[in-house]
Structure 1
Amino acid sequence: MHIILVCLLFAAGCAPVVFDSRLNASQAIWDNQPPGVAAEVQDRLVLVPVRYYGFDGRLHQGQVVIHRDLAQDIRMVFAVIRATRFPVESVIPVAHPLIQEQGVYGLSPDTNNTSAYVWRFAVGENRLSMHALGLAIDINPRLNPYVRGDLALPPGATYDPAVAGTLTADHPVVLGFRRLGWKWGGHWGSRGRVDPMHFQKIPRSLAAWVAKWRE
């Protein structure tokens, strides 16, 4: 009876977790990849389970594919995301069938899914994105769009700091990333663009490896 009463008082804590993604590591890292993907990079990736509150107020579990050297950082930041109840739409690897349905190899600009690794070029550049090396993550893209001049990605997305799920310079999630040495795309106004969904980090030990892949 005591357990029942506790559950009634703290229903959110007793509610079942919503699983947004349940891939195994092989599926998340190796399946549904585009031509030219580098096995050397995939060998360095790991699958990290994370929990967060969705816009429905329920606790969700998703998965992040990230470079193994950044796995602990991801766990620590998602602890902040969960503790502050910062709402996240979904955290699903791009290899997942649900994301594959949105575009070839999961490459769809019109998404609000949070993800890290995806083998692609950087927007507007002829070199690999930091995402392709597992060293970047985008959070709630539709609420935190990439903007350069008249271009906005996802298409039609707008940035409104008053909306839940939006990232700002003083937000605990942004501060949590920065304390761990990550750079935030929201600070890139001097580059002629802003990308508040985007966080990236190059550990010192990986500098030469990153330069080799992005030269």
Structure 2
Amino acid sequence: MGRRARTAAIVMVVALLSGCASSQASRAPRAASTPSATSTPVTAPSAPDATEDPVVAVPPAFTSAISPITPELAARMEPSWRPGCPVPLEDLRYVTVTHRGFDGVDRQGELVVHADAAEAMVTVFHALFDAGYPVRSMRLVDDFGASDDDSMAADNTSAFNCRAITGGSEWSEHAYGRAIDLNPVENPYVRGSSVAPDEGRAYADRPDSPGVIHAGDEVVRAFASVGWLWGGDWESPIDYQHFSSSGR
């Protein structure tokens, strides 16, 4: 082989070897990339702001309303009012008030009273509601056919009823809308050994039980604040359920 031929062969071999090395390098695995030192780290959620206002329980609200006797209400009151009663319908008012039940649930009660007693009753029952005094039921006596006995037996608090006094012929203060009977079972009418309603016998000796009225308690004070007097102060009969503007 001549010198030129040998030189060309050597050049060819070197080129082939260089190509193989380049090919091997291209097939080598690449190193894994390292996260940049400037990456934003993941952080845990921040704790609640300790300066947030605490949750405050809203006290139950007392509501009331006073309205005239509408034709619809007059129809409902047919058992308790009739022509010849000592007060006309236009002088009466329908009163609704919030009261606390014996089960702790607040309810809207209803009364019919004389117009000049309406605001006083709202004042009284607002005070009793604030004091937590329970009222079993407060419905118009007409829901019991205007029967005083049936209303008392149901422990119903009521006011207006065009009727005579118990055991007499004169108009009761209820017939003027200026008297109220409150929780009659817990606060019965007592004359000697006679107790009305009969369900109230267990309360005739005035136990310290919910709804029972005692001399000088928050109930007596609430009615006294509007000038109403308590039948529990009478000597005989003793009418623990009864409050009136005249004291009769």
Listed one character per residue, the Cα deviations across residues 70-98 of structure 1 (whole Å, up to 9, x for unaligned) are 11110100011100010000111112xxx
Q: Distance in 1 between matches of 2:72 and 2:214?
A: 34
Name the amino acid aligned to 1:145.
P
Shift of 1:128: 1.1
Name the amino acid aligned to 1:184.
W
Shift of 1:179: 2.3
TM-score by length of 2: 0.66
CA root-mean-square deviation:
2.5
What does residue 190 of structure 2 align with? Answer: 147
For the residue of structure 2 that corresponds to 1:105, the secondary structure is coil
Shift of 1:29: 4.4
- The gaps in structure 2 that reach 5 residues or longer are 1-53, 63-68
What does residue 234 of structure 2 align with? Answer: 188
What does residue 244 of structure 2 align with? Answer: 200
Shift of 1:150: 1.6
For the residue of structure 1 that corresponds to 2:141, the secondary structure is coil
What does residue 137 of structure 1 align with? Answer: 180
Partner of residue 51 from structure 1, selected from 79, 98, 110: 98
> Is 1:33 paired with 2:74?
no
Gap change, CA 1:112 and 1:127, over 3 Å in 2:
same
Q: Distance in 1 between matches of 2:92 and 2:135?
A: 23
What does residue 117 of structure 2 align with? Answer: 70
TM-score by length of 1: 0.75
> Is 1:172 paired with 2:215?
no
> Is 1:89 paired with 2:130?
no
Listed one character per residue, the Cα deviations across residues 141-198 of structure 1 (whole Å, up to 9, x for unaligned) are 0000000012111114132331101111121121111122111000001xx2111110
Listed one character per residue, the Cα deviations across residues 85-141 of structure 1 (whole Å, up to 9, x for unaligned) are 10000111112xxx33xxx43432423011100111110111111101101001000
Q: Distance in 1 between matches of 2:154 and 2:194?
A: 16
2:160–2:176 contact (8 Å) kept in structure 1 = yes
Gap change, CA 1:40 and 1:194, over 3 Å in 2:
closer
* Aligned residue pairs, count: 181
Q: Distance in 2 between matches of 1:194 and 1:62?
A: 26
Shift of 1:39: 7.8
Largest Rg, 1 or 2: 2
Name the amino acid aligned to 2:215.
A
Gap change, CA 1:40 and 1:200, over 3 Å in 2:
closer
